[in-house]
Amino acid sequence: MELLSTLLATVVALGLLVTIHEYGHFWVARRCGIKVLRFSIGFGPALLRWHDRRGTEYAIAAIPLGGYVKMLDEREAPVAEHELDQAFNRKSVKQRIAVVAAGPIANFLLAILAFWLVAVVGISTVAPVLGPVPAGTPAAQAGLHEGLEITSVDGSAIRSWHDINLQLIRRLGESGSIELVAKPFAGGAEQSYRLRLDNWLKGEEAPDPMEALGLTGWQPQIPPRIGQVAADGAAAEAGLQAGDLIISIDGKPVSDWLIDVVPAIQASAQQRLQLQVERNGSVVDIALTPRPKASGDVVVGYVGAGAEPVELPPNMQRQISYNPVVAVPVAMQKTWEMTALTLDSLWKMLTGLVSAKNLSGPITIAKVAGASAKSGLESFLSFIAYLSISLGVLNLLPIPVLDGGHLVYYVAEWIRGKPLSERIQTWGLQIGLSLIVGVMLFAIYNDISRLGG
C-alpha cells in the first residue's frame, strides 16, 4: 500500500510538472501560428491518444518521465507548400525564442501558484526557539543558549525552523560568518550573534547545517511513558505494554524519554537492560535486549516502542497565513529565493563546495513525493513548487538538447543575423546529450547508493 501511494504521488507530481512545462511551449507555439503535430505526456508507446479539430494529436505514453511537443518543421520532415507559413523553422528568431522559453517560464508560474496556495491555506509550525546548545559548537561559542528565539538569519526574517534551514543551506562550503538575531522567548531585547565559518561543511555528503552549528529545537519534557509498541519488536517480546511508565533502567532513575530512555537504548544494542516500570499502580521488572539497527555509519539499539505523545504549549505553535492579495508577492519572492538557491547550489557543486553526491535522481524524487503527500497538502504543494523550480532552472541551462541550449543558438542567430552552422549545432547536440545522460546516470547511482546505505 505504501509503495502504491508513493508511485501515485510521483506520477501526479511529475505528470503535472511535465504537462505544465509542455503546455507552455504548446500555448505560445499556437499563438505564433505554428502547427503542433503532437503533444505527448511521457515517452514510449501511447496508452491513450486523441485529436483536436486542428489535427494535433494528444497522447499519454507509458514512461512518465518527461514529455514533448512536436511541431511542424522542415528540418524533421518535408512540409507541404500550403503549410510552410506554419512551420517552426520559418518563424522569426524572436518567435522561436518565445516558444522555447515558454516551457521553463510555465514551471516558474506553477511554482508561484503552488507557493501562493500554501500562503493562503497557511501552515502550522513550531516557534524557532532553541533547545539545549551543545558545548563547543559554533552556536555555543557565539553565546547562543537554550530559550532564545531566532528572529533573523543573515538579515532575512525568520518565522520557522524551515526558514532557518534554507538560510543556512545558502552558506554551505563558505567561509566568514553567519549572523543570527535572537531574543529571549519569555520576552526581552534582540541581540546579534556571529557564528564563524571556515569552508563550512565543504564537500560533505548529506550535510546537516543545524546540527553542525549546534542548533536544536526546544522540546517539552516527554515523560518516559510508552505510547505504542510494535508487534514484532524487542519491546513487545520483553512484555512492555502501551501505558507502561519506565521508572529506572539498570537501577538508574529516568524522567525524560529523549534524555534518559532513548540514549540508553541506542547505546545497548544486543545488551540486556533491566527496566522497572509502573503498570496499573504496580512496579514490574522487565528484561529488555535492544536489537541492532544501522543508523548512518553506526549501529544503535532499537526496541520498537515510542513515547506517549505530548502536546506543545500553545505559545510554541505558529499559524502562518496571508490574505490572497498579500500572498501574491510572498509567493513571487519565495519562487525567486528558491531559484537563486538552486542556481547557487549547482554552482557550488561544479566548484566542489557542495558534494555532487547530493544530486538526486528519480528514486529520491519518488521517495520525497510519497513522504510529502503523506505529510499533507502544504508539504505536497511545496514539493511541487521546489521540483517545478528545479525543472525550470535545469531546462534553462545553456546545454544543447535542453531549452537553454536552443535559446543560446537562437540568441546567437539573432546577434549574427544568421543561424550557426549545422556542424556546430550537431556537435553541440552530441556533447549536450552526453552530459545529460552522464548526469542522469550519476544521479541514479546516488539514489541507489542511498538505498544501499
Residue 453's pLDDT is 52
What letter represents residue 293's amino acid?
Answer: K
Residue 44's pLDDT is 87
d(CA 360, CA 450): 10
pTM of the predicted structure, to 2 decimals:
0.83
3-state secondary structure of 198: coil
Residue 445's pLDDT is 80
pLDDT tens digits for 48-101?
999 999 999 999 998 877 899 999 999 889 999 999 999 999 999 999 999 999
CB 41 within 8 A of CB 60: yes
Residue 440's pLDDT is 82
Residue 6's pLDDT band, with cuts at 50, 70 and 90, is confident
- 10 Å Cβ neighbour count for 253? 11
161 has a pLDDT exceeding 80: yes
Residue 452's pLDDT band, with cuts at 50, 70 and 90, is low
Residue 441's pLDDT band, with cuts at 50, 70 and 90, is confident
d(CA 61, CA 122): 36
The mean pLDDT value for 320-338 works out to 95
Residue 377's pLDDT is 83
Among 38-42, 127-131, 188-192, 216-220, which stretch is predicted with the lowest mean pLDDT? 216-220
Arithmetic mean of pLDDT over the chain: 90
Residue 10's pLDDT is 81
User: Among all chains, which residue has been given the C-alpha cell 511541487?
Assistant: 384
Residue 296's pLDDT is 66
CB 244 within 8 A of CB 227: no
Q: Retrieve residue 38's grid coordinates.
A: 503532437
- Reported as type and span, the H/E element at residue 126 is strand 123-126
Radius of gyration of the chain, Cα coordinates, nearest whole angstrom: 27
Domains in the chain (CATH in brackets) are 124-219+312-320 (2.30.42.10), 226-310 (2.30.42.10)
Catalytic residues: 22
